[in-house]
Amino acid sequence: MVSQPEHSMHDFECCRNGKRKYANPRCFIAFVVFISFHTMMFGIFGLWKSNSWSQHLPIKPFTDKSNGLRRNLQSISPLQAEILNKFQLPTHGHKPTVVKRYKSMTTNEELKQKCSTCAIVSTSGQMLNTKAGHMINNASCIIRMNHAPTEHYKEDVGSRTTIRVICHMSTENVMVNAEGILSGDGAPEKVLFFGLNANNHRWAKMNAYKLMKQFPDVDYYSLDKFGELNADIIFELETGKSKKNTNTWLSTGWYTFLVAIDMCEEIDVYGFVDENYCRKHPHKKTKYHYFQSWDKPDECDYYRSHENASLIGGHRFLTEKAVFSRWAHLYNITFHYPPWNISRTSEAPVVDTPWVRKVEEEKSLPLMLFQSFAQWAFGSMY
């Protein structure tokens, strides 16, 4: 009888000794199997948790014919279908119901704000050297985003602020720059937070309460869960793509536009480029933020990197801008610096960007599992 060689502790030591890790081939194989198994299990868990198994089954698409366009949804949950009848969606003659979904963080009362003219001021480097400050200050309501300052940039971006829309991810940056953002001449009358409802965003809600305590003269509001779901549904109806299944993060600009459309009779937008700008100006370099002291990230490079991101998710900036172009046909929206070519006489275009076409491709099950794992691990940021 041939005796089997005994395994020494040396054979397994590599799995826990940092200096000799992977020295034994069997240890390396075991490690790969371990990681592969756990990736698969997390992927299955993610698919089950998000009900993606049922969402990828053939479902009769939702059709909105109210403005002559057919917009098909990849998947729609029963809850989404239930609330579709509770909200006005962006169509001719109808504005999305958004403003009242922002509730006071002190009294829980609905936000009540109406403006005749509004200026949406971008954080983009497109604002530099525009000298648009005077035009912006003439608006009855001025909307800014996240931690974009006015101090040192008033000639280009104006000085007043009526509303500042802040993403939960930007609360840290706002706290660092709070004195220049929430006090002084550029202090907002109201701050609108979004993204504070998720359990894993409690840190952001704590930041918001700290800001409320430090700057009590500002009124603070937070978008409720119905409002956030409504923003998701509008994106899905406009693009025909599931926000959750594509691991898409809606930008602060998206929430800002929805607020402005509901709140304002006339909207002037400053510093937003259209969805074709980067393709038409491949060599032009512009700072992503007008207030950043370095040249990187470049605006178009940043947009493209997010538009093409899939596994760990990203913003769909260019696709959102295609939607904004559609909305400019429906409402009184004018773009400045740079101007957009919007033909009011033509029919509102269907959103058809490279990202929209890309996600129409069928995904393999392994890719779905890995993407679900990545969404569970990283996508929770948004």
Digit-coded pLDDT (tens) for 222-245 = 999 989 988 998 998 888 888 888
The reply to whether 353 falls in a domain is yes
Among 68-82, 250-264, 355-369, name the one with the lowest average pLDDT.
68-82
DSSP code string of 325-351 = HHHHHHS-EEEETTT----TTSPPPPP
How far is Cα 322 from Cα 319, in angstroms, rounded to an integer? 5
Q: Is the pLDDT of residue 362 over 60?
A: no
The reply to whether 2 falls in a domain is no
The reply to whether 85 falls in a domain is yes
How far is Cα 330 from Cα 335, in angstroms, rounded to an integer? 14
The reply to whether 367 falls in a domain is yes
User: Which value, in Å, is the radius of gyration of the alpha carbons in the chain?
Assistant: 24
The reply to whether 59 falls in a domain is no
- For tokens 């002559």, name the residue: 68
- Cβ neighbours of 233 (radius 10 Å): 23
Selected residue with higher pLDDT from 331 and 268: 268
In a shared domain, residues 38 and 74: no
In a shared domain, residues 166 and 78: yes
In a shared domain, residues 130 and 249: yes
How far is Cα 231 from Cα 102, in angstroms, rounded to an integer? 12
In a shared domain, residues 217 and 345: yes
Q: How confident is the model at residue 36 (pLDDT cuts 50, 70, 90)?
A: low
Q: Which residues contact 371 (CB under 8 A, 6 or more apart)?
A: 43, 247, 310, 311, 363
- Tokens at residue 194, please? 């979004």
In a shared domain, residues 203 and 311: yes
In a shared domain, residues 326 and 356: yes
Selected residue with higher pLDDT from 211 and 78: 211
E strands in 124-282? 141-145, 163-167, 190-194, 219-223, 248-249, 264-270
| pLDDT, average across residues 150-154 | 96
- Tokens at residue 106, please? 């002190």
The reply to whether 61 falls in a domain is no
- Tokens at residue 138, please? 């003439």
How far is Cα 187 from Cα 181, in angstroms, rounded to an integer? 6
In this predicted structure, what is the pLDDT of residue 311?
65
Instruction: Give the Cα-Cα-Cα angle 102, 254, 119 (nearest 5 degrees).
Output: 80
In this predicted structure, what is the pLDDT of residue 63?
41
Instruction: Give the β-pairing of 248-249 and 102-104.
Output: unpaired
In a shared domain, residues 95 and 197: yes
Among 153-162, 183-192, 255-264, 310-319, name the one with the lowest average pLDDT.
310-319
Q: Is the pLDDT of residue 165 over 90?
A: yes
In a shared domain, residues 230 and 82: yes
Over residues 176-222, the pLDDT tens digits come to: 999 999 999 999 999 999 999 999 999 999 999 999 999 999 999 99
In a shared domain, residues 21 and 149: no
In a shared domain, residues 100 and 25: no
CATH number of the domain that residue 240 is part of: 3.90.1480
Q: How confident is the model at residue 73 (pLDDT cuts 50, 70, 90)?
A: very low
The reply to whether 127 falls in a domain is yes
Residue 37 domain boundaries:
9-45
In a shared domain, residues 126 and 267: yes
Over residues 115-148, the pLDDT tens digits come to: 999 999 999 999 999 999 999 999 999 999 999 9
What's this model's pTM, rounded to 2 decimal places? Answer: 0.77
State percent of the chain over pLDDT 70. Answer: 68
In a shared domain, residues 27 and 73: no
| pLDDT, average across residues 9-33 | 50
Q: Is the pLDDT of residue 105 over 70?
A: yes
User: Angle between the 252-263 and 317-330 helix axes, to the nearest 10 degrees?
Assistant: 10
Helices (H) and strands (E) in the chain, counts: 16, 10
Q: Is the pLDDT of residue 248 over 60?
A: yes
In this predicted structure, what is the pLDDT of residue 214?
97
The reply to whether 53 falls in a domain is no
How far is Cα 207 from Cα 212, in angstroms, rounded to an integer? 9
In this predicted structure, what is the pLDDT of residue 127?
98
In the chain, how many domains are there? Answer: 2
